Structure 1
């Protein structure tokens, strides 16, 4: 994802035909007049709103936005304080940059802020917003949350698909072993590893033949989909223009969604045929089998529909790949940049696993220092640097200021995790700060909440923890890593819906284990 400043894409959404251009020009003129009226009438309420930079008529602060929003927002906080406003076209944006104000939003007023400000691309990507990310807070969302947390992503269910994860991790080890001595794009391979782990858990016991060979197709579609989710869309800043889809974002996203839907239909049909033919045992244990059973046994008041089912599959594939693989890539980079950290990790792995064994998921709870490495990675490089924007369902007061209903709320967890008033040497990668067991992913401490907090906290924490820890432990136990000659390690970030490394980690693996059979 490479979001650009609003000014960079203004010309790109102008239609080619004269008639369409005239229609849009008239609409824009009306919007300009409306916005000018809004600005002229703000004087009576501005004293109650948070402070913030002055904006221009019509576009507000859009032209001044920096593509690296997480660090740009952090810089503005030094001028305007821990809560400030930005006018994003006709949308009012509120940026939160302190633990105390984040607590007010995500705990004290949790129900009020439990809704999302749904972008057009997000709605188009999720069957009209039928997934757990974008569905409004209410009975339908509670049903989806229950399916995810208590059923699909519970420790019991995750244990039942353990073998699918293990097989894929071993395949990835075999790949790296085949490339010993050669440079490998670590992030790319971990993306494929996580993608294959997820699809194996989703329908590993169901998909056969062509349906099982979807890795390359999924990777392309996921990349295009996340790029569209991160692309500035004029429809989100000026909802009155959404019907025109001036940049074609919704059209493109729907086309990608149809490709996903075709894949989902293929594996669902195959699963249903297997059930009809009495092949349930052959289908094995996978999430699709589980979801289809839940659908048939669902709550009559708020049933799990086929649309919900496919939207949850979409969440798993799109939401679980980039997030986990990028965390592994950042962790590998930070560890390679600190030889003393790497040495301590490998010593811990030797003590727990030994050089004559391979890492299993059962080992990861015995690796406190590696857990600290993961937590420190998520402190410096949180997966979603601004979380998923919240939206108040009613006007309320936060930090002494009025927050109007319908505002877009950005919680800058990236800045909070680097706040020197909360963290000693905040820019230093120091896992030992997390050896104190008080830090976890529950979102109860608003100095550290990489997965969010409150009702809308990430539903996939347990799965992410297993995948990242097992993969990271395996890579660092099985191989030593070095950069290609003449290369320097770069830890800079690139902002997007999901935070990425600006320069991919390319490294050379060398086997650490003496027995080649351990790489099978």
Structure 2
């Protein structure tokens, strides 16, 4: 009977046709299939992996690498997301796939007043973005203009020293130990620096209520930009603005941009009155721009000038100040590193004058401290989110158009394949190393790489080492009663940037008494 069943089945033409048809379809589908997406943890309906990320998603993603490898696939609500987490994968992305991944995935709050369409950081890839990039990289943040503003940075640095002493004196007057919340002084320094570079004016003058209002509004906009928003992951809820974040952003951004507009109008009035400025600032560059007729607009609209000025305050103030705070935290936690840096400063600069930018190139240990800080504490741990503009095959994986791409620079900086003893603060590792943070060494990419590398890194390259050196040279520091270096925490708080969860409080004692 069995033989008869096999024989009758084998000669059934309908069954044979169905089987052959199915096999042929499968063969064709497999040949044409573009491949699979990268591996990743299983999510839950509607929310995907969103609820698994926790408060520090860069750390959670880093832990998942052990299970799923250096390229991770997540579904955050309805948003497909690829995460790149080692140097080799980052090199593949930036060297071979930079163009198809050059677009941005924009948070909903930054679409308020079409803010994203006028910015450099969050603008869609295209002609307008190229114009802004060209203005910043060729007209403003070039070495010539950086050199022209050296004395300005020195002045702002000296103002910071005064604020530190004033805040310490106020604490003592109130019965405290004289402790200073360093992050506040650093942010004020960075904010005033950007005010002078952008608008040629101090924007933190206690006598000027308009300046104070601008500072307060900017702080609120920064907070909103870094707050998780369910509308970003479930886009069909955007019209509802369920968390009310876009409404709050519109209120604060409106106030911020109105104040910035008054600065722009004031400059227009000066120019119309024939007032000539000796040195151009960034506002002058934007107002004088005329296109070449080949790419992008012929001029930058007043609205977009306003947006760009506002964006530069975001980017320059926040990232610079938190990087310096992290670097100084690590130096205080590691007294031997602090002492090595002070000895280098005393050897190169001495104690008869303040450290200057021209001294930095003669101080390899200071440069190593900056690199080690950026390795362990990139201000944007996941950089800015990219968006794929077309279906792409990357490392054999299928990456559909519209995928969000995150580069976990925090995880790359802690990768034991690239960094021996990766969790320790060891500036010495850079003394015999040619690794830089300018986007060509993919084991250290705190500013990103490729077309969308952070345009402000030339400014950070000057401000961060100068300020760290000033803190070490100008003051002796006390941690407070009973506090040991190892008691200083490195806990993180992620918003728009990666801040210290608990701000650093230290007690300064003036060390230098010089005039220059």
TM-score strictly above 0.5: yes
Q: TM-score, normalised by structure 1?
A: 0.86
Instruction: With the length of structure 2 as denominator, give the TM-score of the two structures.
Output: 0.86
CA contact (8 A) 2:191 2:203 kept: no
Check whether the contact 2:74–2:82 (CA below 8 A) recurs between aligned residues: yes
1:77-125 Cα distance to aligned partner (Å, 9 max, x none): 1111111211111111111111121122222101000001111112227
Partner of 2:238: 242
Q: Could you tell me which of 278, 283, 287 is aligned with 1:288?
A: 283
Structure-2 residue corresponding to 1:484: 480
How far apart are the structure 2 equivalents of 1:141 and 1:325? Answer: 26
d(CA) in 2 for partners of 1:478, 1:55: 52
- Cα distance per residue 1:166-220 (max 9 Å; x no partner): 2221111122234367100011110011101111111125989999665533442
Shift of 1:287: 1.7
> Which of 411, 417, 422 is matched with 1:421 structurally?
417
In structure 2, how many angstroms separate the alpha carbons of the residues matched to 1:59 and 1:307?
A: 37
Instruction: Name the counterpart of 1:39.
Output: none
Deviates more, 1:133-142 or 1:209-218: 209-218
The Cα offsets for residues 313-347 of structure 1, whole Å up to 9 and x where unpaired, read as 12210111110000110111100111111111111
Distance in 2, matches of 1:227 and 1:45, equals 44
Which residues of structure 2 form unaligned runs of 5+? 1-31, 170-176
Report the CA distance shift for 1:478/1:401 in structure 2 as closer, same or farther (over 3 A).
same
Q: Secondary structure at the match of 1:455?
A: helix
For 1:494 and 1:171, the matched residues in 2 are separated by 28
Alpha-carbon separation, structure 2, partners of 1:232 and 1:356: 49
Change (3 A) 1:214 1:186: farther
Which of 443, 448, 460 is equivalent to 2:439? 443
> Computing the radius of gyration over CA atoms, which structure comes out larger, 1 or 2?
2
Secondary structure, counterpart of 1:359 in structure 2: coil
Which residue, 42, 53, 62 being the options, matches 1:74? Answer: 62
Q: Is the 8 A contact 1:125 1:253 kept in 2?
A: no
Structure 2 counterpart of 1:89: 77
| Mapped partners of 2:42, 2:270: distance in 1 | 62
Any idea what SS the aligned residue of 1:63 has?
helix
CA distance in 2, matches of 1:489, 1:210: 32
> What does residue range 143-292 of structure 1 map to in structure 2 within 5 Å?
143-178=131-166, 179=168, 182-204=178-200, 216-281=212-277, 284-292=279-287
Distance 1:442 1:119, change over 3 A: same
Say which of 41, 49, 60 aligns to 2:48. 60
Matched residue of 1:376: which SS?
helix
- Bigger drift between 201-210 and 445-454 goes to 201-210
Shift of 1:128: 4.1
Correspondence for 2:351? 355
Query: Counterpart of 1:129 in 2: which secondary structure?
Result: helix
Report the alpha carbon displacement of residue 47 of structure 1 after superposing the two structures with TM: 7.0
For 1:397-452, what per-residue CA distance to the aligned partner results, in whole angstroms no more than 9, with x for missing partners?
12221111101111111011101111111011000111235111221121111100
Equivalent position of 2:457 in the other structure = 461
Gaps of 5+ in 1: 1-43
Question: What is the number of residues matched between the two proteins?
Answer: 471
Give the aligned CA root-mean-square deviation in angstroms: 2.3
Structure 2 residue aligned with 1:402, among 398, 405, 418? 398
Whole-angstrom CA distance in 2 between matches of 1:52 and 1:193: 42
The 1:246–1:205 alpha-carbon spacing in structure 2 relative to 1, beyond 3 Å, is closer
CA distance in 2, matches of 1:100, 1:142: 28
